[in-house]
Amino acid sequence: MCLNPNPQRAAAQSDSSAVSGSQSEVAEALSAHLCVAKKKQLQLYTLSEETLTHDKDFNVKDAPIAIAMEGDTICYATSTHYNILNVSTGSHQEVAAYSPKASLPLIKLVQGCEFLVTGPSNLGIFVSGAGAATKPPIHLGEDVTSCSYHHPYVLCINKDSIIVYSIFDRKPKQTISFSRGACLDNFEGSVLLCTQDIIFTLHPVSWNKQVTDLLKQKKVSEALEIAKSAHKANLTPQEKRDIIAQVKQQAGFIQLTELNFSEAGQHLEEGHADTRAVISLFSVVASKKYFVKDPFDTPTLESVCGGNPEMRKNAYQFLTNYLETNRLTVPDEERQAVDTALVKLYALRSQAAEDSDVLTAKLLEMIEAGDTVCDVQECTEFLGDKLGRHHYKALLYYSQGLHERGLDIWEKLLDGRLTDATHDDYASLMVDTLKREEDVALVTRFAKCILDINQSSGVRVFIERSRPIDDEAVLSTLLDYPLATMEFLEYLVLDRQTTEGAYHTQLANIYLEHVLESSKSGRTMPRDYRRKLQTFLRSSAFYRPEKLLELCTANNLHLERAILYERLDRYEEALKVYVHDLGDFASAKEFCHRISNIRLDHDLKCGLYGSLLTILMSPPPDCDKAPLYLKEAVSLLNDDEAEFNVDEVLRMVPIDWQVTSLADFVIRGLRNAYHRLAMLHIRTALTKLENLRTHQKRIQVQSTHFLVKENRYIYVYIYNLFMR
């Protein structure tokens, strides 16, 4: 405050001006610093309720004309310059020059240790206690006689008016007609204006009205600054925070209408705006169920953007980023609306060529995530009915546990009732899905639509499952699909190596049916079923051959008959098939050799070769190959692999055969007989030797004595011999 010279205080006489600083805590409880300006000196006093104490003197180069003080900093004006004095260090610093002819020097304390001074060209300059500029200067106009600061405004008096300037844009905001104004100052928030005989109070417009008006003018930064700095001493801290949040919300919505998305997102987040209200501004993804009207009547973004596709793209990008940022922090009642909007946004934006892969990946991640809580009904209607993205609709159903609905859509996509180019292989998709499906009824039901299109693909549902379904149930499902049935049986028999005879027999019958069908139609067999049948008949030991033998006999499948006879241990009949029906003498010999190596029975081996020899030497009546039979018989007798009962062969051979044709056979037969006899003697001797050794060990054991004591146990039974 400005003080007139006090005639009762001799120490303060002849002062030109004085100013008080802030309240001091170093002296008495109630005291203040007082700075008094003399001709070329600044004097510092401590003023209490009863005394005025002189503290320090500071010499200056020129007489101070105007002064202001805050803490240890004094700002004073001489005839040409403004200066800063640091009381603690005693240092002086020039901060600005002015022209005394153009204007009077004015110094006003702004806030903290900041001063407003009038400089050249009627500029209002903000300087700190360190002498640095703190804000851009304001042009105050001409003939300013007094000024004051009331945040965020600078008030100035000239000849006939009061002008109010904003520190934000440094422009005049209000002009009040007023003449004879002499002095203007801010006293702890109260702005007092005086003339020569009257004191007026300037009442600022309430801060909330200022904020509202500024927001209507879309001056967001000014409105926020006023809201933050308004005097609200009668409000609790929580009420202050709520007010700031409300202003930031409104600022965010205004910035949205200005398409300033970065600032809008920041204000909306800091103001904790209801995300549902933000979503409701985007009519393309807004939901009636979650609609929340914002309290500021903000128009929809589609109407703001008009028909500009680039603006709409940026708007949807903003909403996507905003929801992604706040998704995990919003209150529970807003979470479902956020997830629902995100699913819609990803699907909508992924249709554009730009960034479609990234957005599609985000959509899939969102749909398949376990923590997604979107409104399934609303999202599926948007995906399917509005966008035609039936695949994602099905995927969302399935991910949310509605497996039947999802599979039903995929079935329609597979059979053509619905179309969606999002995915190119719905059969494989359904196969992979059904392989993991735990509901057996659903697996059985929807596997049929795949089987109708491709049996080999459909049967994979049952073959590649990690948790197999009952085999009989699967075969019942595949009853109308012969190819799938065959492949499933091949999986059971060849891969799982089941020993269930019924499955082996059924698979053999299927092979046989394909062979018979192909032979009747004259078509070639694309999978060479006859070779598969022959291989299977040889390798499997669990099928029932009787019925198969009847079918093979009735349809002249001679090689298959031979294999089945072998399976039934009817070796002689098998040899007759090889010789008489197939005319394959080499296979007949190979058959005898193979059976002999498997059974390792000398008598059986002799019997097999003897049977073959008998067949060769007894060709069918009217057979034109009788000489060939006899030739093969002689060849068999001279075969090193063959073994015979020599006596039986000699009785069988016709008397008119030449001795030379049998010489090799007889010599080899005698040699083999002597060899077997010698080996028999050796085995007998070795057996006797082993018997003698065993007998010797028994005698040694029987001649050994040992002492049985009371605490002796039998090791095997751990049983005390003397307990009974």
300 SS3 class: coil
27 SS3 class: coil
In 3D, which of 44, 47, 104 has the Cα closest to residue 77? 104
pLDDT band of residue 31 (cuts 50, 70, 90) is confident
* Residue 590 predicted with pLDDT over 90: yes
Peptide bond connecting 152 to the previous residue in cis, omega within 30 degrees of 0: yes
* Residue 542 predicted with pLDDT over 90: yes
Q: Tell me, yes or no, whether 152 lies in a domain.
A: yes
pLDDT at 103: 75
pLDDT at 2: 31
Cα–Cα distance, 320 to 167 (Å, whole number): 36
pTM: 0.68
Q: Tell me, yes or no, whether 83 lies in a domain.
A: yes
pLDDT at 707: 73
The CATH code of the domain that includes 134 is: 2.130.10.10
Q: What is the pLDDT of residues 304-324, one digit of tens each?
A: 898 888 999 999 999 999 999
Domain final position from 140, 166, 200: 200
Cα–Cα distance, 307 to 695 (Å, whole number): 112
Q: Are the C-beta atoms of 325 and 275 separated by less than 8 Å?
A: no
Cα–Cα distance, 352 to 325 (Å, whole number): 23
In 3D, which of 202, 197, 172, 163 has the Cα closest to residue 182? 197
Q: Are the C-beta atoms of 433 and 405 separated by less than 8 Å?
A: no
Count Cβ atoms within 10 A of the Cβ of residue 26 and give its class: 0-12 exposed, 13-18 middle, 19 or more buried: exposed
* Residue 130 predicted with pLDDT over 90: no
97 SS3 class: strand
Domain final position from 200, 234, 269: 200
- Residues sharing a CB contact under 8 Å with residue 527, sequence separation 6 or more, in sequence order: 514
Question: Which residues span the domain enclosing 80?
Answer: 10-200
Q: What is the pLDDT of residues 604-654, one digit of tens each?
A: 888 898 899 889 888 888 777 778 888 888 888 888 788 888 778 878 877
* Residue 42 predicted with pLDDT over 70: yes
Q: Are the C-beta atoms of 250 and 230 separated by less than 8 Å?
A: no
Q: Are the C-beta atoms of 203 and 192 separated by less than 8 Å?
A: no
Instruction: Report the pLDDT averaged over residues 287-296.
Output: 86
Q: What is the pLDDT of residues 673-723, one digit of tens each?
A: 788 889 989 999 999 999 999 999 988 888 887 777 777 666 655 545 455
466-479 core/surface letters (b: 16 or more CB in 10 A; e: else): eeeeebeebbebbe
Letter for the amino acid at 490?
Answer: E
Q: Are the C-beta atoms of 49 and 66 separated by less than 8 Å?
A: no
pLDDT at 451: 96
pLDDT band of residue 139 (cuts 50, 70, 90) is confident
Secondary structure (DSSP) of 162-220 = EEEEETTT--EEEEEE--S--EEEEETTEEEEE-SS-EEEE-PPPHHHHHHHHHHTT-H
Q: Are the C-beta atoms of 449 and 411 separated by less than 8 Å?
A: yes
Q: Tell me, yes or no, whether 96 lies in a domain.
A: yes
Q: Tell me, yes or no, whether 163 lies in a domain.
A: yes
Cα–Cα distance, 516 to 560 (Å, whole number): 12
Q: Tell me, yes or no, whether 684 lies in a domain.
A: no
Average pLDDT of the chain is: 85
In 3D, which of 22, 63, 26, 25 has the Cα closest to residue 42? 63
Tokens of 218: 């879309």
Q: Are the C-beta atoms of 616 and 636 separated by less than 8 Å?
A: yes
- Residues sharing a CB contact under 8 Å with residue 477, sequence separation 6 or more, in sequence order: 444, 447, 448, 462
- Work out the percent of the chain whose per-residue pLDDT is above 70: 92
Q: Are the C-beta atoms of 389 and 405 separated by less than 8 Å?
A: no
Domain final position from 633, 657, 681: 657
Q: How many domains does the chain have?
A: 2
pLDDT at 644: 82
Instruction: Report the pLDDT averaged over residues 516-521.
Output: 79
Letter for the amino acid at 230?
Answer: A
pLDDT band of residue 458 (cuts 50, 70, 90) is very high
CA distances in angstroms from 441 to 410, 473, 546, listed in the order given: 17, 10, 37
Q: What are the start-end ranges of the E strands in 447-567? A: none
Letter for the amino acid at 451?
Answer: L
Lowest mean pLDDT segment, chosen from 411-425, 524-538, 682-696 = 524-538
Q: What is the pLDDT of residues 69-111, one digit of tens each?
A: 888 899 999 888 899 988 888 888 888 888 877 778 888 888 8
* Residue 17 predicted with pLDDT over 70: no
* Residue 479 predicted with pLDDT over 80: yes
* Residue 478 predicted with pLDDT over 80: yes
pLDDT at 720: 54
Q: Tell me, yes or no, whether 538 lies in a domain.
A: no
pLDDT band of residue 6 (cuts 50, 70, 90) is very low
Q: Tell me, yes or no, whether 263 lies in a domain.
A: no
Q: Tell me, yes or no, whether 505 lies in a domain.
A: no
Cα–Cα distance, 588 to 584 (Å, whole number): 6
pLDDT at 29: 54
Q: Are the C-beta atoms of 455 and 484 separated by less than 8 Å?
A: yes
* Residue 475 predicted with pLDDT over 90: yes
Phi and psi angles of residue 43, each rounded to the nearest 5 degrees, phi first: -110, 140
